[in-house]
Structure 1
Amino acid sequence: MALTRHTFIFLSIFALFFIALQSCNATSSRSPSLSSSLTSASDPAPASTKTSTSAATTTLFDLALPEIGVQKKVALSETEGSKVASKQLQAVERKISEFKAVLKNRLADPKTSQQTKTCLKQCQDNFEDAIEGVKTGIQSIGKHDLPKANADVSAVATDVDTCNDCFIQMKNEDPEIKAFDEWVRGITGDCLGNLKKG
């Protein structure tokens, strides 16, 4: 009886020691609290930090979300979706303006064929329309008129696509125009997705 009693006491002490040891390990290896992880998730990363993005927001052309002042979050709230879409449109406007300068230089180049010049002139007009569409889209987002913003964003993609179509009809697709068209379609597609959230 004494041996059983001593064994029971020994096992009880061992169990208490084991439980105390486990609770110390659990406390020291515990992940950050929910509130601290939420705080860190809401803090934007520096603009120079590159983030992994979904297939819809892959870095098309040379523009990523952090470069346009947008930090992609796991789940966008209603207003965040609209804010991201607005930032994306601002980036599209900036890139179209920059690309128009490239087209202007190509138009001035004496080596550019007459057919190519015809398409480049049309592209200048298409890009002007696209810039107007971007501005209208940003205004529509600001007024929370999301159906109108959707139409405006789609029109921007169509304007740039029309430029590319000129070269396709010429049976001489321009790789620079095609790459820009694909970039605009990718960003505007992502923008439309963000508008659905906001």
Structure 2
Amino acid sequence: MPKDEQAKDSKFLESNMKSTADKLEKFISTVVEKRLKDPKIDESDKECLQHCKEVYKSALEAIQKSVEDVSCGDFFKANVDVSAFPTNIDTCDECFSEMTDPEFQKFDD
């Protein structure tokens, strides 16, 4: 692949990963935190949210690391770093599916 196409692909990939990281960070700081502070939340939902908050933070770190890898041109390392992201997110799907909060359903979709 020509260098200029690789640079273009790198910028596109970086942009998309940064956008994903921003959305994930916003979801954690607004929706998850808001629900955790809700006094009406039951204990099982609270445990789920706390666990998912940690899982999402870990996924966020993986994405941020992958952005660094891509910016250095190390696509193999970026692939390894970001490979845990879908697994981490899937960990919370079941938990969120039991919640009736539309924000969680929207994020899950």
Do both proteins adopt the same fold according to a TM-score greater than 0.5, normalized to the shorter chain?
A: yes
Cα distance change on mapping 1:115 and 1:123 into 2, 3 Å = same
The runs of 5 or more residues in structure 1 that have no matched partner are 1-75, 183-198
Secondary structure class of the residue paired with 1:77? helix
Secondary structure class of the residue paired with 1:134? helix
Q: Relative contact order: is structure 1 or structure 2 higher (C-alpha 8 Å, sep ≥ 6)?
A: 2
User: Can you list the C-alpha shifts for 1:49-93, whole angstroms capped at 9, x where unaligned?
Assistant: xxxxxxxxxxxxxxxxxxxxxxxxxxx922211111101111111
- In percent, how many aligned pairs have the same letter? 33
Residue aligning to 1:123: 52
Cα RMSD between the aligned structures?
2.0
Residue aligning to 1:87: 15
Cα distance change on mapping 1:82 and 1:104 into 2, 3 Å = same
- 1:135 matched to 2:71? The reply is no
Return the alpha-carbon distance in structure 2 between the equivalents of residues 165 and 97 of structure 1.
20
Return the alpha-carbon distance in structure 2 between the equivalents of residues 100 and 177 of structure 1.
11
The runs of 5 or more residues in structure 2 that have no matched partner are none
Q: Which has the higher helix share?
A: 2
TM-score normalised according to structure 1 size: 0.47
Structure number with larger C-alpha Rg = 1
Instruction: Give, in angstroms, the shift of residue 147 of structure 1.
Output: 1.5
TM-score normalised according to structure 2 size: 0.81
Q: Which runs of at least 4 in structure 1 moved beyond 2 Å after TM superposition?
A: 151-154, 165-168, 173-179
* Greater displacement, 108-117 / 173-182: 173-182
